[in-house]
Chains A and B, each alone.
Chain A
Amino acid sequence: MTSKIENSNGSATVYPAPNAMRVKVVGGGVAGLTCAHAFARRGAQVTLIERKSATGQGCSWYAGGMLAPWCERESAEPIIAELGLESLAYWREAVPDVPNEGSLVLAQPRDLPDLKRFSRRTEGFDWVDGAQIAALEPDLEGRFDQGLFFPTEAHLEPRKALAALTERLVNEYNVTIRYEADGFDVVDDQADEADEADVIMDCRGLGARDQLADLRGVKGEMLVLYSTEISLKRPVRMLHPRIPVYIVPRGDGHFMIGATSIENDERGRVTGRSMLELLGAVYALHPAFGEAEIVEIGADVRPAFPDNIPRLRRRGRTIYVNGLYRHGFLAAPALARRAADLAFDGTACPEVMDEDHREW
């Protein structure tokens, strides 16, 4: 089906065969881009449609980028860890700069019961004492006596990662990207084009609520700080009964702080209370954050199904990938691979597909 030509960088450029499956991907966030990749690497001829002028501008833009299946296992269903392990391997291969530094989970002495509970609810970690924490993160020396270290986890910078993936799709896989195009509106207006696609991948996130009535929005707020007084090698999670917070080092003195999780679907607005809570928590981690410069604040709404588990749904020739909740980077590649298996081989994946087959 496909022919491959090695280019000077040694990476393969894939040219779809004339009779290749034609796939239209709607939405250029982490779900759409990984779907485009999954289909293109199997030889499909992929067109990606993005509403904005660049990819990765929706809630992927505000993601933490923690590739932490074991940490997420504490509060998520086992399937999330399973998807996460597959996705972790994907990102290491698919994009540059995925530091394999693990992740660290800490709590203030008064919140040690939360740390114990966290440890009971997951695996893949070692208990670390104050000296070991200092060896991992020298700037945290003397600040914590106990913590959990998850050595096999990793993190990435979501914006850079999606830009790199977009570039690969275009350069290596000849994926056509149409920017500032409006997904299904365009399809409706141009019936010919709709007829051209064998498969439509609907990766619009909350935008697909018109088709997926059980989607809801869960708001998340974040901020980016800049400080030269502290450095961290890996994501650090601080447990707290009300205000759990994580800090992801983004390099060059930048730190992403996230994230609130609020049951509403209001886009964009960031409240003082949320910032107070996030900043208070990182200030407790290290006072240097009190002196840090606030570079950015942001908020968006994550799409979620009632059980917070992502889904593939197939209706006719459309496959929906949605409900990634707070697990976009953690789950998207594994879902994309399953979506391609479904389209190419008819392989069902009941773990992420609704059992209700009536509407197919």
Chain B
Amino acid sequence: MPTLTIDGRTVSVPEGKTILEAAEAAGVRVPHFCWHRALGALGACRLCAVTVLDGPQKGVRMACLTPVQEGMRVSTLDESSWNMRRSVIEWLMANHPHDCPVCDEGGECQLQDMTVAGNHAVRRQRGRKRTFHNQDLGPFIEHEMNRCIACYRCVRTYRDYCGGDDFGVLGSRDRVYFGRFRPGRLLSPFSGNLVDVCPTGTLTDKTSRFRARPWDLEEASSVCPHCALGCAVIPGGRYRELLRVRADPRPQPNDGFLCDRGRFGYGYANRADRPRQARLEGRPGTLAEAVAALRERVEGIARQHGPEAVLLLGSARATVEANALLSLWARRLGAADPVFDLAARRDGAARIFARAAPALRATLADVRQADLTLVCGADPLAEGPLLALALRQAARRGAAVRVIDPRPVPLVCEAERLPLAPTLVPEALRFLAGGNGAGLSQEVLQPLAETKRLFDAARRPVVIGSAEGLGPDGVRALLALVAGASRPDRDAKAALLLPGPSSFACARLASAVPNAQDLRRRLGGGKIRAVVALEVDPLAEAPPAVTGVIEKAELFAALDYLPTATVGRANLFLPSAGPYEQDGAFCDFAGRLRAFARVLRPGTPILHTGKGNHPPRTFSPDVPGGDAAPAWEILAEILGISGGLSGARAEIEKAFSFLQGLAGLRADARDERVLPGGEPPAPPGAPAGPEPAGLRLLLSDPFVGWEPLSAHAAVLEVLRPEDAVYLNPAELARLGLAPGARARVEAQELSEIRVARAADLPPGLAWVVRRRGSALSRLPAGEVFACRVAREEGA
């Protein structure tokens, strides 16, 4: 570890680090544009000039390109490098517009900061400025090329880090242009990162353009609620309106990057049709009335008809606290545990994984550092997009990526895929763990044997599955594979993609009784009279057998902040606060509790109350539409727990020992607590029935269109996939369907019309990507159903 001094401060950094990194470690800030922690050094901007006073090459050096040496003495304050930096800033400003007041970046612009820091107040350059035409880059990113200083951060992010191929560098000399071949939407699902990495106003967030200056934004350290990965985000809002989401620049867990679903999917919070007032039997009321009614009616039904008449539905998108308090309420009522996930197979898989040893559970950092990754029965881009980005980073470091899946799973890196029927994926995992591969054909076993050789040789392999793709049997095989492969010199880990930001904690809160399966029995018994849906939309997510019972319940209560079908039908509605409108905690896919802080108080945005003008001049102590309260607060009130969030967390810690540490979490410090492992639930009594003969239907989730929050964000509509049914070409021909033809798909007494498309699928499989509101999408993902696909005649 070489030791050097920078501006008189002594620092030791590992061999191979640069002066810039050593300076960061020593707490000395070296100005820079092109250097970026995650993207590395380029030497394009020439701003990080420092003076090497003692060392192999004395004089002005680029800090980002110069490796440290033992005994080096570096100054950032020396006149020669100070003058150089000052000049570089002036040169960069020669062609830059002098119009910060009308630039959306103003106030958080590195070039603006540097210009001020460089003590530049007067433009000396008198010549004409070079100008460019801008491109329309789609609904997310605004392009203003005249502001570009050619730091190349955008291309390095878009192409190298994120794997996009439709944005790049054009031209040469002083006419270097960053853009697309033709104007049009940036196609990468990670395009929004351009906003964060661009140090000037060249690439800005179009969805929040000119809505607020950064110093007017209310911001807080938060956790992304759009999947189970728990990316660190910093949302910002103003005038009761959520305006933007940016990535937390800290390296963990998401390396400072976000997917477009997490970044641009915030529109659900501001919708004009968002339910903001409590409703009792169709009559508007106050939240306090509704809370009292909810407690009285649920307790009344439990007293009168027994606790088994109460069905509580928890959810993956509610906070850990709300779900835990719901469990506590069930206990107090003597009722069965809440059902946290209506899809039995996914629920069973999650509950097994949530009890795995913490050392076996991979984080995003583990995936980025892996030397071999297997993706089995999972679609990372849809179910946890940043995981696909982490896979790319592993691949860039040389890791092989192997996919075992029936679907042509899209990734943002090179991958080799072994197409396998869904039911055979667990068997493939057992084969990798040393099993005999019973049931697998010879042409599958051969490539699988090669994958096994790679796996056995890897030192840091990570195997990725998804709860809905693998099911309980597959998750057992997944955990057995990595547990069996871990040795002192070898770190094998598993990651399981789960449906929402609290899924892991919900799966842990669920008792050993497979409650989603038990639900069918309970629903069949005809005993259920009260249903409470906590931020979940069973009417859109469950098959008719379940929804029929729910709709007929004497009490159908819903807590939510989305205008869902369930909210529309509920006879008791309580407006709850959205994830960015409360303090709380989520639990990521690796079982780490992560706290987030409130960004905004709930309330109707002034944009809506003022209809684009000044808001009404009526005076009242209440915030318009501000009745909503965090779900945990509503449930704490029902349970008689006082003391706000800390009071609720203390009660939760007492009731659920595995949630110890919840009360001490701090959002701004990005604290996390790892949930301990536990006793795995017993295998389900009845084995899965025989596979249906004939054509089988497989459902899976898209990047945008199913996840409930972003499905309610209008700006993301463009990313919603076509309503298609995919079959392999031979199957299409057999059914007499031409690609593009209209086809009726029927399964489990549900049916809808979709566009027939060819895809590289195993024979006998029809694949449908879900969309919120579509009939077939009420069937649980991952399970296979017998189905019929036929040509639909007529228009």
* Mutual binders A and B: no
